[in-house]
Structure 1
Amino acid sequence: MRFIPLLILLCLGCQETNGPAPPSEDVYAPASVEDDTRERHVWQKPGVVIDALGDIEEKVIADIGAGEGFFARRLAPLADRVIAIEIDQRWIDYLDTVRMTELPTNLRSRLEPRLALPDDPMLEDGEVDIVLFVNTLYLIDNRQEYVHRLLPGLRSGGRLVIVDWKKEATALGPDLGDRISLSDLGHMLEQAGFAVLSTDNTSLDYQYIMTAEKK
């Protein structure tokens, strides 16, 4: 059976006005996966991804496809500001609830849910230092064009950090045909106006991490 992440159904294809219940953190795990590896905080290794961002204390981060805020809620206390970008108003409403209920009053301004378009992240010029994609880029149509649109929003020396599914059979993740290989991703980023800085294909079990810098 084709594995379709819940994120596609909730964020890209549904137009209802009533907000869905937030997904669990194991949305990428098929039912056949053992319980001790289903929970996302186990297999996603958020500390590894956050370390890949480098020093973020005074940085503005755009979390593209923030979903239920798995990373946004972890990054907000650490960064200057996190812009949690989604294309469905229901997720924006949910992220705003996260902001108001999970963050201390003095940190709430650090998390900004922002409604965007499927083909436009709606970033202001020179607004962010880092753009983070986690399990999101493979879902985007016209990826090269979308990534190119990020250039004006990134400050000088701004970086992309992309966490996506390895182009190989893994226990978790989408169909193999939907994944982006490291070589294809690197070529796409170069064509879009970025220089690849590093590639990590070993720290995460099911995903790679690629970091690129605005040329």
Structure 2
Amino acid sequence: MKVLFGSIRFTLLLLLAGCGLSMGQQTGAVSGEQNGVYRYQKPANDGIGKTYLGREIAQVMGHLGAAWLERPEREQEERTDLLLDALSLKPTDVVADIGAGTGYFTFRMAPKVPKGKVVAVDIEPEMITDLNNTKKKTGQTNIETVLGTITDPKLAVGSIDLALMVDAYHEFSHPREMMTNIVRALKPGGRVVLVEYRAEDPNVPIKLHHKMSIAQATREMKAVGLSLKTVYRKLPQQHVMVFQR
């Protein structure tokens, strides 16, 4: 069954946060709200009514739909093998898998960085529990799990070579704050990789707000000091967009 909801990596906390902070998030998280970065409108069927640089942020789903991330046909449908190759990982890289979910990419990237590590970030405790259980079962030692927030992935400044977001960024309720913190976590020369369903292609069977165009992604990354370096176009339905400072 084709899933038309985009990524299910981040929890419904993100949706609740579309109207402000939820569940005791720190006050510093509202800087984008205070500075007028976001606008509000009547929600679309698959949006939350909160817009950022002309794009309505998409609705999200929680951990109960996580089985879709591990569906057997995913590699063939999305050619995740090609995506992993496109990342051009080095053995020493430290990679942050932002919105790691069940760790589909986390556990596939870890063997490619034997002298580095993968930091799996999610804001949902259930996902972190699943990640830790799988880590224990597989015996992979170069994986670290981090419980982030709706505005902060909780990564140390200058600690990562690459931040990967697969079908997740378009659902961030506070994209400006999240990306500002991700950029701070990059090492010199570090990369941000966004993998998003192609909004330019009407044949991609995904709801409108769960797609992103290259132009829109470039606009949003420019707002945090990143510029588009390359686009990998060989996946069946997704862009792989690489940004750097």
Normalising to structure 1: TM-score of the pair? Answer: 0.80
| Aligned partners of 2:198 and 2:204 also within 8 Å | no
Structure 2's unaligned 5+ residue stretches are 15-62
SS in 1 for 2:67: coil
CA distances 1:67-103 after superposition (whole Å, capped 9, x unpaired): 1111001011111100011011010000001101123
Contact 2:8 2:66 in 1 (8 A): no
Within 5 Å, give how 1:161-180 maps onto structure 2: 161-167=193-199, 168-173=201-206, 175-180=207-212
In structure 2, the CA distance between the partners of 1:21 and 1:101, relative to structure 1 (3 Å rule), is farther
% identical equivalent positions: 23
Matched, 1:11 2:11: yes
What is the correspondence of 1:180-191 to structure 2 with a 5 Å cutoff? 180-191=212-223
Cα-to-partner distance string for 1:134-175 (whole Å, 9 max, x where unaligned): 0101111232332122122110001011111110334543x1
Deviation (angstroms), 1:11: 2.2
| In 2, Cα distance between equivalents of 1:64 and 1:55 | 16
Given the alignment, which residue of 218, 223, 230 partners 1:198?
Answer: 230
Q: 2:117 aligns with which of 70, 76, 81?
A: 81
Match of 1:114 in 2: 146
Change beyond 3 A, Cα 1:141–1:115 = same
How many pairs are equivalent? 193
Residue in structure 2 matched with residue 98 of structure 1 by the alignment = 134
Q: CA deviation at 1:56?
A: 2.3
What secondary structure, in the 3-state scheme, does the structure 2 residue paired with 1:183 have? Answer: helix
Task: Quote the offset at 1:45 in angstroms.
Answer: 1.5
Instruction: Decide whether the 8 Å contact of 1:96 with 1:113 is kept in 2.
Output: yes
Unpaired runs of at least 5, structure 1: 28-37
* Code of the aligned partner of 2:8: L
Q: Is the 8 A contact 2:180 2:224 kept in 1?
A: yes
The answer to whether the Cα contact below 8 Å between 2:7 and 2:167 also exists between their aligned partners in 1 is no
What does 1:20-35 correspond to in 2, within 5 Å? Answer: 20=64, 22-25=66-69
Distance (Å, rounded) in 2 between the aligned partners of 1:21 and 1:140: 18
Contact 1:66–1:84, Cα closer than 8 Å, also in 2: yes
Counterpart CA distance in 1 for 2:177 and 2:212 is 15
Aligned to 2:33: none
Query: For residues 128 and 156 of structure 1, what CA distance do their matches in structure 2 show?
Result: 9
Residue 134 of structure 1 aligns with an amino acid whose one-letter code is: V
Give SS of 2:151's match.
Answer: coil
Match of 2:101 among 67, 70, 94: 67
Indicate how the Cα distance of structure 1 residues 98 and 7 shifts in structure 2: closer, same or farther if over 3 A, else same: same
